[in-house]
Amino acid sequence: MVRNLTRQTVVADRGTVADTSRTRRTGLLKHTSLEKGEGLWIVPSEGVHTFGMKFAIDVVFLDKKRVVVKVRKNMVKRRIAFSFRAHSVLELPVGMIDESGTAPGDQLELVRS
């Protein structure tokens, strides 16, 4: 689960972590969609691309303390986004940034079950 501690909202209730070379490289490329509540946390990562993806995503860039440094809403196919200040990236279904109110400066928490 990923929670926004600053806004007291849930960002993703079914989050997956990509923390190996293979899982970071594959990311969401094999998915046909990302359902509400799902998310992929890529650690470490300063950037993502949507080349080869079948759907758009919201992207949240986080520093080592899991503070949001940048957001990118509705990132469509064949795009690249990055932040040199980021240590990890959270990929979400389109609309989750707005729904959770997530913005730069917010503190996120990853709760592993």
CATH number at residue 26: 2.60.120.1140
Contact 28, 62 (CB under 8 A): no
What pLDDT score was predicted for residue 76? 97
- At 20 the three-state DSSP class reads coil
Q: How do residues 54-109 score in pLDDT, each as one tens digit?
A: 999 999 999 999 999 999 999 999 999 999 999 999 999 999 999 999 999 999 99
Q: How do residues 19-51 score in pLDDT, each as one tens digit?
A: 999 989 888 888 889 999 999 999 999 999 999
Q: Which domain, by its residues, includes 60?
A: 2-110
**Given 3-state DSSP classes, what are the helix, strand and coil percentages for the chain, each rounded to the nearest 5?**
10, 40, 50
Contact 45, 66 (CB under 8 A): no
Indicate the number of domains in the chain. Answer: 1
Alpha carbons 71 and 90: distance in angstroms, whole number: 9
What pLDDT score was predicted for residue 28? 87
Question: What is the β-pairing status of strands 2-4 and 9-12?
Answer: antiparallel
Contact 59, 104 (CB under 8 A): no
Residue 17 has pLDDT above 70, yes or no: yes
